Amino acid sequence: MQSPTGEPRDLTGTRMELEVGPVAHGGHCVARWDGQVVFVRHTLPGERIVAEITEGREGDRFLRADAVEVLEAAPGRVEPRCPVARPGGCGGCDFQHASLATQRELLGAVVSEQLSRLAGLEREVTVRPPLDDSAPDGLGWRTRVTFAATDDGTLGLRRHRSHAIVPLDDCPIASRDLPDVLSLPWPAARVTAVAGSDGDALAAAYDVRGELPPLEATGVLSDGRTVHGRGWVRETVSGRSFKVSGAGFWQVHPDAATTLVDAVMRAAAPKAGERVADLYAGAGLFSAFLGEAVGPEGAVISVEGDAQASRDARRNLSDLPQATLIHGDVSRALSLGHVGERCDVVVLDPPRTGARAKVVRAIAALGPRTVVYVACDPAALARDVRTFAELGYTLGDLEAYALFPMTHHVECVALLEPVGP
């Protein structure tokens, strides 16, 4: 049916009963309505629900919807702990309506489905909680949060797929060690609150429109420049100290860095004297432990494109003369030969978009005995694993961790090795 203007009818607001199918990548489940695919949030596989369309027109390839009423609940359903983790509310959490065990099952199903569909690999994936899990209830773990500000300075988070801001008095997944920014009005477009593992904290305000509010014992940044207080926090991982500037990149779960270092080092198994490349190296987390493992006779080439992260890495790796830091685009550094002609081990932790074919080909050309791929997006991982397979590298062990409880994000550490002769 078309609207009076001749355009396909907008279905937003339409309600219907649906039988919910499997989970899909992105924090929703798949259902069908009159032949159309519907991606539904706030539901679980096997449920019968009333869904309300939030985006889509008749004839679209798919529709988006929220589950506004649960007629038959799945066994893993629980009551959300946050009052705005519901249809029409905050978009920060995807699975507060699921138990933590159910969340991990859903994440494992997503990783398995992406590997099957995009890489042609059938693999059952078990998703684990972080090592030494300090947030066993899935709450109070997020040590870095960026809030958006309304015109009157009230802070909140955005609705799912929207610029609209949902004001917050509290965020249950935010660390209790964060500076209290939610109780104050901020003349800024956004505010990032950070809590370091050693007790440091800061708030970074961006696009500042007026005088910033005072915060006790907290460094306050404005548009990347220090206004007063310290502009970095300390992080300790397995006995080693790191400094991370402002709102610079660092894992947001307090146990994530230790969990990933443990997984990467077991997979890479670096030996004294080896040459290792650490690509998309951030503040030098993996480079530091790789450098210690290869020792003074070995070499670690650490490549990072972000200028601030590179400055942090230079400070964090200053005691390791075997570490060479390269600030620049990873693809360019590889193509120009800055990483060298050969490497024994390559570790890469690319952004959500993945490494992509050009970088994968350049890594394979280095002839590493082992590639360790740290992935925050299972679809990007699967696509790159397929490219590695075309170049003679097969997927070995794969570990997956729920380092972002209540959300659809999952971290994978994949081991890739050359196929034998």
Residue 393 is labelled as binding a ligand: no
Cβ neighbours of residue 241 closer than 8 Å, sequence gap 6 or more: 198, 234, 235
Q: Which tokens is 57 given?
A: 């027109």
Residue 373 is labelled as binding a ligand: no
Strands (E), 169-256: 190-195, 201-206, 219-222, 225-228, 232-237, 240-245
- At residue 314, the 3 state secondary structure works out as helix
In the residue annotation, 376 being an active-site residue is answered as yes
If we measure between CA atoms, which residue out of 49, 84, 85 comes closest to residue 67? 49
Long-range contacts of 3-9 (CB under 8 A, 24+ apart): 7/57, 8/57, 8/58, 8/59, 8/60, 9/57, 9/58
CA distance 86 to 66: 9
**Cβ(420)–Cβ(393) under 8 Å?**
no
Q: Which tokens is 414 given?
A: 């994949």
Which residues partner with 8 through β-bridges?
Answer: 2
Residue 280 is labelled as binding a ligand: yes
DSSP strand pairing (127-128 vs 62-72): unpaired
Catalytic residue among 90, 171, 376, 412: 376
CA distance 99 to 189: 34
Residue 36 is labelled as binding a ligand: no
The DSSP call for residue 56 is -
Displacement of CA 141 from its chain's centroid (Å): 14
Residue 49, classified by CB atoms within 10 Å of its CB into exposed (0-12), middle (13-18) or buried (19+), is buried
Q: Which tokens is 21 given?
A: 């199918």
Give the residue ranges of the annotated binding site for S-adenosyl-L-methionine: 251, 280, 304, 349
What are the catalytic residues? 376
Give the residue ranges of the annotated binding site: 251, 280, 304, 349
